């Protein structure tokens, strides 16, 4: 490595670290404990953790089969399918929210029929979970597909020649092999869910205890009560750091 790379690298690191430091410096230490333990803050945190956990579970349920199909099969249009599935990664979250609204909204593609049987998804906690799952699913699929491709098919082939059925191979060989990849993918998805804002506000709305997750609270409070907004932001930063640390540890296993 040329030694001069140190300079731009340091610049990049500074660029990421300084804003984080800036938010920490803004925290009013005296009121911090009271602010993050206020009933509304705890309510938002609890809602965020609950919805992110549910969304991550949904991501695993839907993402593991999808990643396996993408990694282990070859069919026409697969490249296109992969691109489409990864689209929420690069879409502005607000656009994802609109797309969900036009699908599950009361007058949406599917929402119209749901409304006839008395089900409305918008403004419910389920809408938050759907929004988070939509934006986080690609994170899980992309890291798991990578892990599946890296681990290769040799062990699976051996297991098959020894008489194991496809389902047994998948359960006993494939999944354990990509365990670390699945773990880090899930953790990434969880972190993305925790931070979800744009799709949630567009699709689910904002009601304390029902749809008002931490990022929505921060956004609403930032003007009227900046101290509270900063305190909640710091909680999100801490959770994010913990999640990333956990993911790195998982990868090392």
Partner 1 sequence: MIKNPGISAVVAVAAAVALAGCGSSSEGSEDRELTVFAAASLTDTFTELAEQFEKDHPGVKVTTSFGGSSDLVAQIEDGAPADVFASADTKNMDKLGELATDPQDFASNTLEIATPPGNPAKITAFQDLARSGTKVVVCAVEVPCGNATAQLEEKTGVDIEPVSEEQSVSDVLAKVTSGDADAGLVYVTDVTAAGETVTGVEFDESDQVVNTYPISTLDGADEADLAQEFVDLVLSEAGQKVLSDAGFGQP
CA distances from 208 to 46, 71, 205, 216 (A): 11, 41, 10, 10
Asked if 211 touches partner 1 (CB under 8 A), the answer is yes
Using an 8 Å Cβ cutoff, are 194 and 48 in contact? yes
Closest by CA to 197, choosing from 183, 213, 181, is 213
Measured between alpha carbons, how far is 49 from 54 in angstroms, rounded to an integer? Answer: 9
In the complex, least distance from residue 54 CB atom to partner 1, rounded to whole angstroms: 20
In the complex, least distance from residue 214 CB atom to partner 1, rounded to whole angstroms: 15
Asked if 154 touches partner 1 (CB under 8 A), the answer is no
Measured between alpha carbons, how far is 230 from 9 in angstroms, rounded to an integer? Answer: 28
Using an 8 Å Cβ cutoff, are 136 and 196 in contact? yes
- Interface pattern 184-203 for partner 1 (x via CB under 8 A): -----------------xx-
Asked if 106 touches partner 1 (CB under 8 A), the answer is yes
Asked if 2 touches partner 1 (CB under 8 A), the answer is yes
Identity of the residue, 57 or 220, whose beta carbon is nearer to partner 1 in the bound complex: 220
- Interface pattern 49-88 for partner 1 (x via CB under 8 A): ----------------------------------------
Under 8 Å CB-to-CB from 69, ≥6 apart: which residues? none
Positions that interact with partner 1 (CB under 8 A): 1-2, 5, 101, 105-107, 120, 122-123, 201-202, 204-208, 211-212, 219-224, 226
């Amino acid at each position: 490595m040329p030694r001069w790379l140190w300079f731009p690298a340091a610049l990049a690191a500074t660029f990421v670290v300084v804003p984080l430091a800036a938010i920490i410096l803004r925290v009013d230490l005296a009121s911090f404990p009271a602010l993050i333990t206020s009933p509304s803050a705890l309510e938002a945190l609890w809602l965020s953790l609950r919805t992110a956990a549910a969304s991550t579970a949904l991501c695993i349920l839907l993402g593991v089969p999808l990643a396996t199909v993408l990694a282990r099969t070859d069919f026409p249009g697969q490249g296109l399918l992969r691109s489409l599935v990864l689209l929420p990664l690069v879409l502005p979250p607000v656009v994802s929210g609109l797309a969900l609204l036009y699908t599950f909204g009361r007058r949406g593609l599917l929402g119209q029929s749901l409304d006839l049987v008395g089900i409305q998804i918008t403004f419910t906690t389920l809408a938050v979970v759907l929004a988070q799952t939509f934006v986080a699913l690609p994170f899980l699929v992309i890291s798991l597909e990578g892990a599946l491709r890296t681990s290769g098919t040799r062990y699976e082939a051996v297991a098959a020649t020894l008489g194991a059925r496809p389902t047994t191979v998948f359960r006993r060989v494939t999944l354990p092999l990509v365990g670390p990849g699945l773990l880090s993918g899930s953790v990434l998805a969880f972190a993305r869910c925790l931070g979800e804002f744009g799709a949630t506000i567009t699709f689910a709305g904002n009601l304390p205890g029902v749809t008002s997750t931490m990022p929505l609270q921060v956004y609403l409070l930032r003007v009227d009560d900046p101290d509270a907004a900063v305190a909640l932001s710091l909680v999100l930063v801490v959770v994010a750091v913990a999640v990333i640390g956990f993911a790195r540890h998982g990868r090392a296993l």
